[in-house]
Structure 1
Amino acid sequence: MAKILLNKKNLFHNLNLILKQTKSKEKVAIVLKDNAYGHGLLEIAKLAKEFGIKKAVVRTCEEARKINNYFDYILILADTNLSTYSHTFHIAVNSLEQIKQLPKNTQVHLKVDSGMHRNGINKDKLKEAIHGLYKQNLKFTGLFTHYRCADELATDFYWQRSNFRQIKEEVKNICEQLSIPLPKFHSANSSALFRINNFDEDFARVGIASYGYLETDNIFNNPDLKPVMSLWGQKIATREIKKGQRVGYGGGYIAKKDMTISTYDVGYGDGFFRLNEKHKYITPKGYEILGRVSMDNLSVNCNDENICIFNDARQLAKIHDTITYEITTKLNPTIKKEIIQ
């Protein structure tokens, strides 16, 4: 049976590197949205709690409910069905219209558009938004933004940081006028956190770095992160093929000699992207995936009972012209997961 192994030692190694930046576990919010980037929502939540992380970020209320017992503070980024609440839940708000839809006493983080122009309230609508929260008896617990170029060598990052600093000052003035407590301010994702010297915000939302990757330009002095996930397949069948025989759909692989090959129970139906004869991929142990990956299995030039398909998503991301996020999040959430020390 296919399985995902989660390396606890590597996860804790990454979190310790993150702590060197934040200086406190209280300032780390681990991002667990989309099944913890494919690593397993509950599995990573349990490990994060064991490490001492008390804040988490998820996509939906359903995700938040599943991990409610593991964290003191959960930010929900993108859910429109908000019928169930907990004192630990904080709802991200992206528009003035959304403020009117929330029941009173809901804890709210306003997202402000500091220059990415994707989600968030416009800067010139901040006063209206905060007054709206006040009138609706909503609790203003956070204000945040997201960077469009934290992973690239560009001035955009510093421009947005400057915008957010100005926004924070405006928000402080509005809160003082209304005599309400200041919200928690946060803007840094993984890439931004490792570009900021003397981190001074209330917390960072750390996702991909927790899992061992950092999608930034090579010029940056990135930390030595270690991938947490490895994907394993179990042998289905073995056969001997002759030189010149073809393997799989389209006969894309042609044997250069007599050889032993086996099929394993991992395919694109499991979320492992479809390889074909145009892209040569070598497993960590040095085996080659032969020809096209099928929906439920793939062929490899070996006879091992179990093989590691990948333990570092970067090579596959390069082959598929994508990012490590997509390689890990696309894996079927039903794949069995095991935690190794």
Structure 2
Amino acid sequence: MAKILLNKNNLFYNLDVISKKAASKQKVAVVLKDNAYGHGLVEIGTLAKEFGIKKAVVRTIDDAIKIEKLFDYILILAEKSFHTYSHNFHIALNSLEDIDKLPQNSNIHIKVDTGMHRNGISIDELEKAFLGLSKKNINITGVFTHHKAADELTADFFWQKENFSLVKNSVKNICEKLLLPIPAFHSCNSAALFRTENFDEDFTRVGTAIYGYLDNAGVFEFPKLKPVMSLWASKLSTRILKKGQSIGYAGTFTAREDMRVSTYDVGYGDGFLRLNERKLYTTPKGYKVLGRVSMDNLSLDTDDEEVCIFDDVRKLAKVHDTITYEITTTLNPNIEKEII
């Protein structure tokens, strides 16, 4: 059966690099949304706890429940319906309209739009948000934003940092005025953390770097990290493809000579997407994907019983003209995972 192997040593290496940059494990929140970027929510959560990480970030309350006992502090980014609640859950407020939907006495992080213009309240709505939340006896435990271009060589990163500095000052003034405790501040994703000298926020939300990837690392000379995931497939069958015979749908690959080929139990139904056939993809051992990827299998020029399809998705991301973590999050969550 197809399987995903998770390299514990590589994960711990990445977490160590991240923790040192943040100055403490206590300042690292691991982003586990979308099944931990395809790596397995519970598997990565369990390993992060073993390493000593206390904070996590997820997308929904259902995900938070699955890892509730692993972390002291869980930020939920995009929940609209609350069927249960826990004292270690912290809910992101993405718009003023959502204040009325929040449970009383819950912990809230106000998301502020500093320039991405996707989610979050505007800076001039901050006091209104604080007043509305206070009236419902809701605990404002955090204020945060998200960078739209921390991994791009533009001025946007510095512009948003300045905007968030204004947010911090405004929040401190509001808290003093309303006699409220000052909440935690956080803005840095993976790229932003490694572009920040003397990191001084309360914590950083790190996603893709945990799993071994920092897109545009060559531009910024980010540290070299180690991919955590590898995808493996098992052989289904082997045959001799005669010269002139084609293989797979539409017969897009034709043998130039007699050759041994095998099919393996990974396909686009598992999240290994069809190749565009204009770019060749080879496995880490140099085996070529022959013809079109099917829903449940693909063909390679080998008869090995097991084959590593990838152990670093950067090459595959280039083939698909996308980012690394779109490849990993596309993988079927039902693929068996094994920690090595």
Post-superposition offset of 1:221: 1.1
Q: Which position in structure 2 is the counterpart of 1:189? A: 189
For residues 198-213 of structure 1, what are the structure 2 equivalents within 5 Å? 198-213=198-213
Letter in structure 2 aligned against 1:11: L
Task: Report if the CA contact (8 A) 1:277-1:290 is conserved.
Answer: no
Letter in 2 for 1:32: L
Give the residue type in structure 2 aligned to 1:103.
P
- Structure 2 match to 1:42: 42
Offset from partner CA, 1:295-327 (integer Å, 9 cap, x none):
000000000000000111111111111111110
2:317 paired residue number: 317
State the 1:329 CA deviation: 0.2
Correspondences of 1:155-170 after superposition (within 5 Å): 155-170=155-170
Cross-structure match for 1:180: 180
What are the equivalent positions in structure 2 for 1:81-92 lying under 5 Å apart?
81-92=81-92
Deviation (angstroms), 1:216? 2.4
Match of residue 141 from structure 1: 141
Structure 1 Cα separation of the partners of residues 277 and 22 of structure 2: 45
CA drift of 1:102 comes to 1.1
Q: CA deviation at 1:257?
A: 1.4
Written as runs of structure 1 = structure 2, the 5 A alignment for 1:238-257 is 238-257=238-257
Q: Give the C-alpha shift of residue 262 in structure 1.
A: 0.3
Aligned ranges 1:12-51 → 2 under 5 Å: 12-51=12-51
Local SS of the residue matching 1:16:
helix
Residue 223 of structure 1 corresponds to which residue in structure 2? 223
Structure 1 position 81, deviation (Å): 1.2
Q: Distance in 1 between matches of 2:5 and 2:93?
A: 36
Q: Which moved more, 1:274-283 or 1:83-92?
A: 274-283
- 1:219 deviates by 2.0
- Kindly tell me the number of residue pairs found equivalent between the two proteins: 340
Partner in structure 2 of residue 131 of structure 1: 131
Length-normalised TM-score, structure 1: 0.99
DSSP-derived class of the 2:283 partner: coil
TM-superposed deviation, 1:279: 2.2
Task: Give per-residue Cα distances to partners, 1:183-227, cap 9 Å, x unaligned.
Answer: 100000001000000000000000000000011263201111010
Aligned counterpart, 2:102: 102
Q: Distance in 1 between matches of 2:36 and 2:140?
A: 27
**Shift in CA distance, 22/217, structure 1 to aligned 2, threshold 3 Å:** closer
* Distance in 1 (alpha carbons) for counterparts of 2:249 and 2:169: 61
Q: TM-score normalized by structure 2?
A: 0.99
The residue aligned with 1:77 is: 77
Q: Distance in 2 between matches of 1:7 and 1:169?
A: 42
Q: Which runs of 5+ in 1 are unaligned?
A: none
Deviation by residue 1:120-155 (Cα, 9 ceiling, x = unmatched): 001110010011111111000000000111001111
Larger CA deviation: 211-220 vs 9-18: 211-220
Specify the code of the residue in structure 2 equivalent to 1:139: N
Looking at structure 2, the residues matched to 326 and 22 of structure 1 have their Cα atoms a distance apart, in angstroms, of 26
CA–CA distance in structure 1, aligned partners of residues 124 and 263 of structure 2: 59
Aligned to 2:52: 52
AA at the equivalent of 1:339? I
Structure 1: distance between partners of 2:192 and 2:148 = 10
> Partners in 2 of 1:218 and 1:241 — Cα distance?
42
Question: Structure 2 counterpart of 1:128, which letter?
Answer: K
Give distance in 2, aligned partners of 1:121 and 1:172.
Answer: 17
Q: What is the aligned-residue RMSD (CA, Å)?
A: 0.8
C-alpha distance in 1 between matches for 2:39 and 2:50: 16
Give matches, 1:255-334, under 5 Å.
255-334=255-334
The secondary structure found in structure 2 opposite 1:219 is: helix
Q: Please tell me whether the aligned partners of residues 260 and 302 of structure 2 are also in contact (alpha carbons under 8 angstroms).
A: yes
Write the letter of the residue equivalent to 2:180.
I
Aligned letter for 2:242?
K
Q: Distance in 2 between matches of 1:313 and 1:221?
A: 19
Unaligned runs of 5+ in 2: none
**Take 1:214 and 1:34, find their aligned partners in 2: how far apart are those partners?**
18
- Counterpart of 1:175 in structure 2: which amino acid? C
Partner Cα distance (2:231, 2:20) in 1? 29
Judge which range, 96-105 or 9-18, deviates more: 96-105
Structure 1 segments of 4 or more deviating over 6 A?
Answer: none
